[in-house]
Structure 1
């Protein structure tokens, strides 16, 4: 397979006779090197041995960084404005009665938004890999991939949404020692119905985005994951807030409503599980993909606990929380998806190409000048952080949203926190993705949930520290503390 000028993979097969006459290969385990005169240095080759005398040569050429930058930046901006919209929405709904009376909803926000981001971005990453490998080129494969993956994310969303509500109830019970049954049912119903509905809508949108990307000959890895994250945040937060408010208003008049919806959603889980188990593309993921999303949900819930505390101290946190978390999650998901696609293209699980190493220094992760490294993409993604946050912050300021004055010292501290978050995430992404591949774990299904959850936790923690630091150095105006 070779990438075209847009960075998409192209299939090319060379038989043994042509290979013998034109190419000189050296075999070493699962790695194959081509004669330097045959292909350029940015070309990786893998021999896939089949039956008989035929040998397929898979060639992957790295796309130019300028093409990657253009393809990434526009979706990144669109995704960022989606996150700004979600942040503005959170800034408004934090004053709704349900958020004031049932404060555990704050714990649900990062957990559910993280869940949606995880499911939609892993869906986008899986479909992007299949698209780049040519598995979406026939109608039969297309229908099978779409059906199986939609059933899979509906099953995962319902179960993990239920577990997220349980975690919110437990985290809410710890400081008080009291569980309000009506509030617990409200949280559970809101979480499960939101996860189910948003998964179905966003799953269809992601399929459309990837198919449209293929039609325009754009690499889906660069486009799908940012759009998945941004649409997931806005859609999920809107659904959660509306449903929680609805259930809160009907809690006394229709107490049975939440119970019925919870039971109905859980009864549908075996149906989605059966459909996914019968599909060749999702059968394995159905049984192996639970640990990442559940662990990520727990990590995001801890972030929600931090958010619940910081919002009570600094109202200004709310409008920035989704932006800083979303930007970090988007950028690291793009990097993880690109590394995963390359690994799927040139190697087999359990075997790392010779130019890739798990244990690398932070300097090598960002400063390696070799064309085969991912340092160039990491630096490019890192360079998007400050311009992106400046644009998003100016938008928030222009709309006169939030509770924080946009002073010079505030922007310096905020941008430092955002940049530190992305640097940590990009380094962790490279180490984690390659380590998973070496241990025969598919990064498409496992890396992104952990990375986005860590992004939520780091973003919320660093943002809280930033606001505390501003308060300590004397920025104690009514905006920061209100």
Structure 2
């Protein structure tokens, strides 16, 4: 050992002595994908280690998910009642294109807010939100990005709805088009802003109380999403609807103002290091998801013309499926970020697996899938009987209706959870961050599957002559 080496030993010993004994002896190696942010004094009151999803049990996962799940479900029940109520408003009857907008605007919570929840949950679990300055920069940048996406996608949703009406019904009305565009812009913008703040708050609070935000952030984000979007859509449509052209000049002004502020939001999101890449790469999922949701809206418009009662169940079956699969997708993404480099799959991992492996294996994703599937039947039973009680007093749904409805919901969630694994691992293998891509596709697919299975359920009940069915 030379003199130079002797000089270096005290410094090494000093570095070790500065650490607590437990940290010096037992601290694990950092994860590959973790970039440790500087810890702030405020963050020291919160947890200093991220929850490890792979170490969670069926019970711990279920305990964290069950309360947000039922809160979100009751919010969707309320949204269903509200949709059932407003479908008789004059503006909904005179401008039927609004119904086509409903799944698309409700789906924005999956395209934007749930994706935001997934991104922030991953960052929180990796420890990147423990520094106050970085945390608020991350939140502000993401809210700006979501606002930009909400305006663009909201406008596109209205345009696509109009195009679908022109193609299918050979009808076009300029006043209806302007009304749809202005209502969609207001609804998507305000709802995304409110839900974005709620989502960020839930992630921060979950982190402080040692709760895995992957388990609670997406359901909480969805709990107010449907009713907020429906209320905004119906109120703005009613206020802007002008059969006598008294206020026909207002919708064009609203559209123009929103178009003018888009460059401002783009500029801010581009300057933020946390959203710069998503600003360029995050559009394809939300746009394609919007198209799928709009297609679901067209199917819903056709079904509502035949089955009146379908309106109250549509937000519930779509929302529950979207909530559960978003939890799975968010957890899968966090696991990949914690232990692997983007583009590199875990050892022995495969993109295409059998449904048995997806639900019955001992892997962490199968454990979560089983917990989520266990919630489908009891959750929907509670929601169905809640709907029937408040809709018709003490009337009970028929056994045939309950069985058919639960079967449709079970099939929908099973498909979604299986597709969630394949999509998440596929995007990761293609160097695409699943936090930005997976949930929009899954929630849009959930909307389409939900409307289709619900429509098949009502058609089946109609054919067998279920006396409860309202047509």
TM-score (normalised: structure 1): 0.86
Q: Provide the secondary structure at the position in 1 that maps to 2:63.
A: helix
Q: Distance in 2 between matches of 1:410 and 1:332?
A: 24
Number of the residue aligned with 1:469: 460
Indicate if the aligned counterparts of 1:122 and 1:445 stay in contact, CA closer than 8 A. Answer: yes
**Cα shift at 1:179:** 0.8
Q: CA RMSD in A?
A: 2.2
1:423 to 414, 422, 431: 414
Q: Distance in 2 between matches of 1:121 and 1:231?
A: 12
Indicate if the aligned counterparts of 1:117 and 1:232 stay in contact, CA closer than 8 A. Answer: no
Structure richer in strand, relative to its length = 1
Q: Distance in 2 between matches of 1:134 and 1:252?
A: 55
- CA 1:123–1:157 in structure 2 vs 1: closer, same or farther (change >3 Å)? same
Structure 1 moving runs of 4+ over 4 Å? 43-50, 58-61
Q: Distance in 2 between matches of 1:44 and 1:480?
A: 60
Q: Distance in 2 between matches of 1:376 and 1:85?
A: 31
Q: What are the ranges of 5 or more consecutive residues in structure 2 without an aligned counterpart? A: 1-14, 17-25, 36-49
- CA 1:220–1:149 in structure 2 vs 1: closer, same or farther (change >3 Å)? same
Q: Distance in 2 between matches of 1:378 and 1:99?
A: 39
Indicate if the aligned counterparts of 1:355 and 1:373 stay in contact, CA closer than 8 A. Answer: no
2:179 to 156, 165, 186: 186
Indicate if the aligned counterparts of 1:117 and 1:233 stay in contact, CA closer than 8 A. Answer: no
- More relative contact order, 1 or 2 (CA 8 Å, 6+ apart): 2
Number of the residue aligned with 1:126: 119
1:215 to 190, 193, 208: 208
2:445 to 424, 449, 454: 454
Q: Distance in 2 between matches of 1:230 and 1:210?
A: 15
Instruction: After superposition, give the CA deviation of every residue in 1:403-422 in whole Å (9 maximum; x if it has no partner).
Output: x9710000000000000000
**Cα shift at 1:130:** 0.7
**Cα shift at 1:135:** 1.2
Q: What are the ranges of 5 or more consecutive residues in structure 1 without an aligned counterpart? A: 1-14, 17-37, 51-57
1:268 to 261, 270, 294: 261
Number of the residue aligned with 2:388: 397
Indicate if the aligned counterparts of 1:154 and 1:200 stay in contact, CA closer than 8 A. Answer: yes
Structure richer in helix, relative to its length = 2
- Counterpart mapping for 1:14-93 below 5 A: 46=31, 62-93=55-86
Matched, 1:291 2:284: yes
Indicate if the aligned counterparts of 1:45 and 1:59 stay in contact, CA closer than 8 A. Answer: no
Indicate if the aligned counterparts of 1:332 and 1:451 stay in contact, CA closer than 8 A. Answer: yes
Number of the residue aligned with 2:368: 377
Indicate if the aligned counterparts of 1:356 and 1:373 stay in contact, CA closer than 8 A. Answer: no
- Number of residue equivalences: 432
- CA 1:334–1:180 in structure 2 vs 1: closer, same or farther (change >3 Å)? same
1:206 to 163, 186, 199: 199
Q: Distance in 1 between matches of 2:34 and 2:136?
A: 28
2:310 to 317, 339, 342: 317
Indicate if the aligned counterparts of 1:405 and 1:480 stay in contact, CA closer than 8 A. Answer: no
**Cα shift at 1:251:** 6.2
